[in-house]
């Protein structure tokens, strides 16, 4: 299998399908190549400048535009830290009124507990929170590198009987398209995920979740992530300099999709596998600061 994949990459490197494309790789060959990328990454650091367009829950469905810059650190275990400065949306005080305000948000998640701090634009802390799960200001970099829906793409393709379906081209490079098996919910809606994979570089350049209500409508994307302009940040590790993550509303009648929200990001300052300081993934709060604990109580255990 390794020899087959090596020969396939040699064929792909100079070629852009001027002639017939080479045979499709097997799903095992695709997974083996992605496994190598995942194994090489212990942690990632990046700064992303975002423009977010948000129409969800907005009065009159009018999109609101905000900007933010987020410094992120994530590791293979799913732990994360970020510090974000920028704008967020606030509603009111008048009915239907939407305003934006500037602030700063920090969060750390150690795999069990998320700690976060909300501050004003001047950096003065307003309050802190503790919760079971992290909340994002921006997009977790794992979602546009090795993961999708907080799971590695390889584990998803293995668990959902992935298969390779065709060759495509993206940014003038050949990529293979792999899909999960179709899942049918109780109401008859069918669901699947689709991944565009650059075999030579070992990266996922596009990922999407699709749904089909009727055969006439066919499968339609309802959320997607596009990762572009990859650069070799460390030997053999290619990471994207641009990212787009969006969710769309798919009308019941099969009409055209409408944006719900969209993140457009420009990445800089990538670092692969840097030494992380102890305690990075748990924030320490200033004394006398209001702390809101949103963790759900653990179910009692019977004492014996």
Closest Cα to residue 163, out of 288, 276, 26? 26
- For 20-86, the DSSP string reads PPPPPPPHHHHHHHHHHHHHH-SEEEEEEEEEEEE-TT-GGG--EEEEEEEEEEEETTS-EEEEEEE
* Cβ atoms within 10 Å, residue 265: 24
Q: Is the pLDDT of residue 301 over 70?
A: no
pLDDT, residue 60, reads 74
Q: Average pLDDT for residues 165-169, to the nearest whole number?
A: 97
User: In this predicted structure, which of 17-21, 219-223, 238-242 has the lowest mean pLDDT?
Assistant: 17-21
Confidence of residue 58 (pLDDT cuts 50, 70, 90): confident
Sequence-distant (6+) residues with CB within 8 A of 186 are none
Round the CA-based radius of gyration of the chain to a whole number and report it: 22
Q: Average pLDDT for residues 23-50, to the nearest whole number?
A: 98
User: Mean pLDDT in the chain?
Assistant: 92
Q: Is the pLDDT of residue 151 over 90?
A: yes
Q: Is the pLDDT of residue 7 over 70?
A: no
Q: Average pLDDT for residues 110-137, to the nearest whole number?
A: 95
178-231 pLDDT tens trace: 999 999 999 999 999 999 999 999 999 999 999 999 999 999 999 999 999 999
pLDDT, residue 98, reads 86
Closest Cα to residue 157, out of 134, 139, 176? 176
Q: Is the pLDDT of residue 15 over 70?
A: no
pLDDT, residue 17, reads 56
> Omega before 93 cis (within 30°)?
yes
Tell me how far the alpha carbon of residue 142 is from its chain's centroid.
6
Q: Is the pLDDT of residue 14 over 50?
A: no
Confidence of residue 302 (pLDDT cuts 50, 70, 90): low
Cβ proximity of 57 and 288 under 8 Å:
no
Q: Is the pLDDT of residue 16 over 70?
A: no
77-113 pLDDT tens trace: 999 999 999 999 988 788 878 889 999 999 999 999 9
Q: Is the pLDDT of residue 267 over 90?
A: yes
Backbone angles phi, psi at 279, to 5 degrees: 80, 10
User: In this predicted structure, which of 46-60, 138-152, 214-228 has the lowest mean pLDDT?
Assistant: 46-60
């Amino acid at each position: 299998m390794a020899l087959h994949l090596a020969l396939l990459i040699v064929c792909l490197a100079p070629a852009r399908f001027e002639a017939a494309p080479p045979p499709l790789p097997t799903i095992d060959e695709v997974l083996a190549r992605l496994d190598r990328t995942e194994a090489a990454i212990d942690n990632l650091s990046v700064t992303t400048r975002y423009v977010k367009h948000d129409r969800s829950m907005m009065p009159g469905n009018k999109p609101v535009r905000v900007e933010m810059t987020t410094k992120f650190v994530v590791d293979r275990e799913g732990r994360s830290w970020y510090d974000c400065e920028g704008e967020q949306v606030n509603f009111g005080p008048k009915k239907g009124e939407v305003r934006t305000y500037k602030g700063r948000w920090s969060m750390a998640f150690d795999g069990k507990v998320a700690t976060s701090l909300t501050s004003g634009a001047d950096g003065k802390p307003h309050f802190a929170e503790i919760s079971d799960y992290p909340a994002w200001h921006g997009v977790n970099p794992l979602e546009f590198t090795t993961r999708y829906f907080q799971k590695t793409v390889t584990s998803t393709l293995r668990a959902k009987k992935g298969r390779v379906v065709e060759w495509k081209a993206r940014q003038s490079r050949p990529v293979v398209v792999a899909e999960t098996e179709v899942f049918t919910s109780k109401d008859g809606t069918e669901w699947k995920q689709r991944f565009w994979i650059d075999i030579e570089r070992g990266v996922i350049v596009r990922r999407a979740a699709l749904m089909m209500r009727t055969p006439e409508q066919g499968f339609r994307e309802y959320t997607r992530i596009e990762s572009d302009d990859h650069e070799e940040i460390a030997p053999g590790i290619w990471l994207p300099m641009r990212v787009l993550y969006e969710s769309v509303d798919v009308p019941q009648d099969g009409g055209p999709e409408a944006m719900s929200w969209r993140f457009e990001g420009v990445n800089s300052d990538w670092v692969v596998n840097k030494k992380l300081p102890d305690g990075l993934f748990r924030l320490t709060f200033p004394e006398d600061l209001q702390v809101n604990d949103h963790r759900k109580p653990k179910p009692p255990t019977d004492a014996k």
